[in-house]
Structure 1
Amino acid sequence: MTSEQDASKPFALPSLAILGGGPGGYEAALVAASMGAQVTIVERSGVGGAAVLTDVVPSKTLIATSEAMNRSADSTELGVNFKAPDGNPKEAMKADLLHINERVMHLAREQSTDIRRGLEALGVKIIIGTGRLLDSRTIEVDRGESTEIVKADAILIAVGAHPRELATAQPDGERILNWTQIYDLDELPEELIVVGSGVTGAEFASAYNGLGSKVTLISSRDQVLPGEDSDAAAVLEDVFARRGLRVLSRSRAEAVKRTENGVIVTLSDGSTVTGTHCLVCVGSIPNTTDIGLEKAGVEVTPSGHIKVDGVSRTSAPNIYAAGDCTGVFALASVAAMQGRIAVAHLGGDGVHPLKLHQVSSNIFTSPQIASVGVSEADLATGKYQGDVIKLSLKTNARAKMRNDDDGFIKIIARKGSGTVIGGVVVGAGACELIFPIALAVTHNLHVDDVANTFTVYPSLSGSISEAARRLHVHM
């Protein structure tokens, strides 16, 4: 501990340099600085990284507007009527995409500013520039007109990832877009083709359908959201069909070309789909190229992701990594946890290695899909033995009142013992409703612990209690 550090801190941290200011980086910086470390963040674009500036915060802000329009369009069931020429409530509404995107980017910049202020209040030094490792303790920062050298006792790499592109579908930022360019549009796409039915593709397809675009989602798999709960995907596909969103399943996009007034997408069977715009969502690539990893002794996988262990250590002494660049789980919450775990390990604090089965995730489609822990697919492999109960929200009084009954609550309990090991929530506000199930999974609660906890009546959470009650194990 240096003389400048607070001697009252229970754990002594060395100086820490962080390459990347996204959730993995800034969360680590907040913890390290509060523990007395001298912390420097090197970030090339802005504090918050892609998650705040071009990905999570902007997309979920856009989705919030879409959800408002969907809810308004469905409000005729509640007795709220819009004067629409053909009786379609959406004809009485118009999404002002220029205003929406201005608000989206304003909120992203505002969030970035808030995070920066919090970091600087704790004494974190922030350098805007492009960093490169010279060795396991040194980062060279290109600031355009000058170069700065940052030395530290330890380094955390949190450089994130960027959109993967297809050689036959190069984005031009106008008609062919990746998800960082979609906010540059001033007018709502009349006919939007979304290539890729993973989380990002499904979210944007759902959002633009809600805003009023005619959307076609091209999926190479049998269902949207491959790898997710099949019951959840089925509910989402039913809602998509009801709202006029077309899904082309088992279809692979081979090429996207710009035409005079739009785009044409060629599929692997030779057929084509035309539209005014195309959004390509085919995964991401870690930002690990040409940042000095080899020179510093940091090993990467064939995909370019940094190899880390359960406490975020890389193969190089004194170097840790967090976030999308590690390929562990592409979620901001996981990046943040990896960063905090790295700091705890570095500072000698009590460390709980990252446990992926405790990670709760949410897909911000309409309806939302949230999950945590063991899945039914895991049960099918025989790795886990469990009992499953699924309750439709169509039986939930609160869901009926709100006219939000698309979805269900699913809880998975360990067979024999009744310990909660997993769950899925599909419906409005699933991102909030998954939390009590995640608590149960993380702390090994019994289904009776959940069932015997009071819930509000009427409430959506009441169905969580009811599902747990139906999984009661008779002793």
Structure 2
Amino acid sequence: MAARVAIVGGGPGGYEAALVAARLGAEVTLIERDGPGGSAVLTDCVPSKTLIATSDLLNGGRSAAELGVDVPTDARVNIAAVNERVLGLAQAQSDDIAERLEMSGVEIVAGVGRLDRTGGVVVTAEAGERYVPADGVLIATGAHPRVVDSALPDGERIFTWEQIYALRELPEHMVVVGSGVTGAEFASAYNGLGCEVTLVSSRDRVLPGEDQDAATLIEDVFTRRGMTVLGKSRMAGVERVGDGVRVALEDGRVVEGSHCLLALGSIPSTANLGLDALGVDLDEQGFIKVDRVSRTSAPGVYAAGDCTGVFMLASVAAQQGRIAMAHLLGDAVNPLDLSKVSSNIFTSPEIATVGPSQSKLNEDGLHFDVAMLPLATNPRAKMQGLHDGFVKLYSRKSTGTVLGGVIVSPRASELIHAVSLAVAMHLTVDQVADAFTVYPSLSGSVAEAARRLHR
């Protein structure tokens, strides 16, 4: 008899796990409230990056005059059309995932799942309740935007990132509260779309958890492009005032705008799942505790994605889900290794990283070398009129092994893959430098940085 697997949550952690389980011969039921792909596809990652693609198109015209091209300066964004496309692409991606799951033999059940003491899952749907028996369960319920009582979104003038696509007119002045990855991405996007933007940061700089050189560069780009960045400015509350908003700061200052986007972090979606009944341990913030093969503290119960708080990226969620099913169903398993994770921040320019940060390497007391090349010295960048960015590599001092790196550049998300391969395969800087790159190319700077680390 085939093993029975129930998966609660259809985001990247859930649907990738379902595909692996089906491939390994299991009978798989995927329970999802909103649609295949979950919030990552329908309200978060896919929509935001689609919006950013439109912003990037307009940002690309900034260097047109330098390249000898006259571009009209009165170009306007039809935000209603942009958001219609954003939501249409998100739904199309969800439909593609659904088709792939169904072709793989996965049963998709629309509803909300709750773990049962028997080891199965009780699904609550419009038609009533249904019990799904299971030999193993994966929880992949993700997370949702954090809100506070002093700043409640109304979906009209005050938004979370899930609600922002309801806009039908381009805001005159968008106030973004929160300077982490989500806040920085949306601030960059709306600045590129032509809005006046004020970014309210409780910390002394934007992207406080990221590479300091990259964060400093991005903040400089933001201010040069007309954005107002308020550092060390903690929000006290947000209220709607007529056709605008008023953001009160704890020091008594007030920022007025037409709209406000709240980017205050995420809350794990782990309530009302029946976790207590099975003895699934949570941390102080409500995230599910898991080990490197995605096991929880309860036998036969696994968890993946943002609900675990391990590393809140779609790619990590997907890998956690794949690992969980391989472990549950007896396939070969490579435990999750966060030292090899690559990530990207979709500001303009982008920030891509892989491996431990420079500050983490210093904290760990490792002896390492650093090479950092400004993008402006790259011949392809000069041809394209690119000035802001850099390539930075770290290597172990004793062996020259590549430990990690940072790339700040347009399409840095594509360029980081070469560094990611080097980290994953434990390549030395000489091996990276000896691999041919195209001339001229932005990737040539990766090889040049590696050559500068030759010992």
1:169 aligns with 2:145: no
Q: Which residue does 2:68 correspond to in 1?
A: 79
C-alpha offsets along residues 238-278 of structure 1, whole Å, 9 cap, x if unaligned?
A: 11111101100011011001001200001010110000000
Give the structure 1 partner of residue 297 of structure 2: 315
Q: Match for residue 377 of structure 2?
A: 395
Aligned-residue offset at 1:136? 5.6
The offset of 1:237, in angstroms, is: 1.1
Letter of the 1:469 counterpart: R
The residue aligned with 2:114 is 132
1:40 maps to 2:29: yes
Distance in 1, matches of 2:118 and 2:30, equals 16
Of 131-140 and 283-292, more deviation after overlay is shown by 131-140
The separation in 1 between residues aligned to 2:33 and 2:67, in whole angstroms, is 49
Shift in Å at residue 140 of structure 1? 0.8
Correspondent of 1:115 among 91, 97, 102 = 97
SS in 2 for 1:135: coil
Q: Which residue of 2 aligns with 1:219?
A: 201
- Equivalence for 1:103: 85
Q: Which amino acid aligns with 2:127?
A: E
Q: Contact between 1:136 and 1:155, CA under 8 Å: does it hold in 2?
A: no
Give SS of 1:421's match: strand
Are residue 67 (structure 1) and residue 49 (structure 2) matched?
no
Q: Counterparts in 2 of 1:267-278, with a 5 A limit?
A: 267-278=249-260
Q: Retained in 2: the 8 A contact 1:136–1:317?
A: no
1:143 to 2:125 alignment: yes
How big is the alpha-carbon RMSD for the aligned residues of Structure 1 and Structure 2?
0.9
Aligned-partner SS, 2:116: strand
After alignment, is 187-196 or 233-242 more displaced? Answer: 233-242
> Does residue 57 in structure 1 map to residue 46 in structure 2?
yes
2:188 alignment partner, SS class: helix
Secondary structure of 2:437 counterpart: coil
1:425 maps to 407
Instruction: Tell me how far apart the structure 2 counterparts of residues 196 and 136 of structure 1 sit (CA, whole Å).
Output: 43
**1:18 equivalent in alignment to 2:18:** no
Describe how 1:413-452 pairs up with structure 2 within 5 A. 413-452=395-434
Looking at structure 1, the residues matched to 104 and 209 of structure 2 have their Cα atoms a distance apart, in angstroms, of: 41
Provide the rounded CA distance (Å) in 2 between the counterparts of 1:187 and 1:359: 38
The answer to whether the aligner puts 1:405 opposite 2:387 as a matched pair is: yes
Task: Please report how far the alpha carbon of residue 334 of structure 1 lies from its aligned counterpart in structure 2 after TM superposition.
Answer: 0.2
Q: What is the CA–CA distance in structure 1 between the aligned matches of 2:117 and 2:279, rounded to whole Å?
A: 8
Partner of 1:9: none
| Structure 1 CA distance for aligned equivalents of residues 385 and 400 of structure 2 | 33
1:91-148 CA distance string (max 9 Å, x none)? x210100000000000000000000000000110000001111126211111123111
Residue deviations 1:62-116 (CA, integer Å, cap 9, x gap): 0000000000233111111124xxxxx3xx2101000000000000000000000
1:404, CA displacement in angstroms? 2.0
SS at match of 2:64: helix
Which of 244, 249, 258 is the aligned partner of 1:262?
Answer: 244
Judge conservation of contact 2:175–2:259 (CA < 8 Å) in 1: yes
1:340 and 2:322 matched = yes
What's the counterpart of residue 216 of structure 2?
A: 234
Displacement, 1:323? 0.2
* C-alpha distance after superposition, 1:275-329 (max 9, x if no partner): 0000000100011011100112211111110010000000000000000000100
Q: Is residue 19 of structure 2 the alignment partner of residue 30 of structure 1?
A: yes
1:207 and 1:334 map into 2 onto residues whose CA distance is: 24
Q: Give the secondary-structure state (helix, strand or coil) at the position aligned to 1:377.
A: helix
Structure 1 residues 54-63 or 30-39, which shifts more? 30-39
Q: How does 1:158-197 map to 2 (within 5 A)?
A: 158-197=140-179
Deviation, structure 1 residue 182: 0.2
Which residue type is aligned with residue 123 of structure 1?
A: G
- Gapped regions of structure 2 (runs ≥ 5): none
Instruction: Answer whether contact 1:220 1:250 (CA < 8 A) is retained.
Output: yes
Asked if structure 2 preserves the Cα contact closer than 8 Å seen for 1:136 and 1:316, the reply is no
Please list every run of at least 4 consecutive aligned residues from structure 1 whose deviation after the TM superposition is greater than 3 angstroms: none
1:281 corresponding residue in structure 2: 263
| Structure 2 contact 175–261 (Cα < 8 Å) conserved | yes
CA distance in 2, matches of 1:226, 1:256: 23
Counterpart residue number, 1:368: 350
Which secondary structure state, in structure 1, belongs to the residue aligned with residue 197 of structure 2? strand
Say whether the 8 Å CA contact 1:378–1:384 is kept in structure 2: no
> How many angstroms apart in 1 are the aligned matches of 2:367 and 2:84?
50
Task: Determine the C-alpha separation between the residues in 2 that align with 1:346 and 1:382.
Answer: 34
Question: How many residues end up aligned between the 2 structures?
Answer: 455
Q: Which amino acid aligns with 1:417?
A: T
Aligned-residue identity in percent: 59
User: Offset at 1:157?
Assistant: 0.3
Question: Contact conserved, 1:266 with 1:273, CA < 8 A, in 2?
Answer: yes
C-alpha distance in structure 2 between counterparts of 1:24 and 1:382, whole Å: 31
